[in-house]
A = this chain, B = another copy of it.
């Protein structure tokens, strides 16, 4: 039984982790921390969990918690995570960090997008936790930088094609759309019901922090610097993310080559579903699950490829993938605790 702590349990991602670990048959939730709700019971903060979760939030005391757990999820803001991770690792607690702090190999890229990094020496040790693509590296690691939601939705369909040279690395565009839970639980005018409901808009065009994260991964896979045009949009729904990705195929690439590349990559993976030709993802079909659905359309005349992917931003885009990473770290079946059965509604 893996003993688990969740640091930052009262945000939406933290709450998803609480839910997943409570239902995980080989893990036990040993501690939950919260700065703002310290001393209060989880079921008081999230009344939905009444009678199911019986833990009280505590302050984040690294050493005390290290003695009680084997693994910690850091569901904390950027910058905060890097202050806690080194000590947990020293205490032999494996860390899955859901902030951006350990997603970059290149410290300057991180610092350009975020702020000064105070634990640069760990960047070499940290592994980028995109499970289906990097599970071998993850397995031997102690520190996983859990990918951003947008990068997960963009990289899963794209990387297998980049690896095989099937798409031009120049001119890739991702038009992405996210539900509101991606913005977190802290109230703001931007997440006010009346401002989002019956609304739809792009945001942070040209300067979203997930761009350098995607670009670093794609560039490493392509062995050349790759730039991506990325436009995120806010959907009037709670959870789910869909990316429509536009790329040009390289000369000679056919529809069946695209399909083969995706199938070769994902055929034995539970959580990535490559849809039949002519079918495309719908957020509704992955909501509440750890699936990433992928569909595509190639216009043979122009060589324009349209890739579409859908994930639940809180699961495959955050807490679900984090648990999948924990499973890999501890040698469990990847789908353990993630048997989230999809329904019609």
Contact = CB atoms under 8 A, between A and B. Distances in A.
A200 B177 contact: yes
A56 to B, nearest CB: 16
Interface string A269-308: 0100101000111111111110001000101011010101
Contacts of A195: 193, 284
Q: Could you say how many copies of this chain the assembly holds?
A: 4
A185 B238 CA distance: 20
Interface residues on A, range: 35 or more
A185 B345 CA distance: 10
A341 B187 contact: no
A59 interface: no
A288 B239 CA distance: 14
Nearest to A204: B280
B237 A199 contact: yes
A202 interface: yes
Contacts of A109: none
A62 interface: no
Contact of A244 (B52, B175, B193): B175
A233 interface: yes
Given A173-B173, A175-B175, A345 B285 contact: no
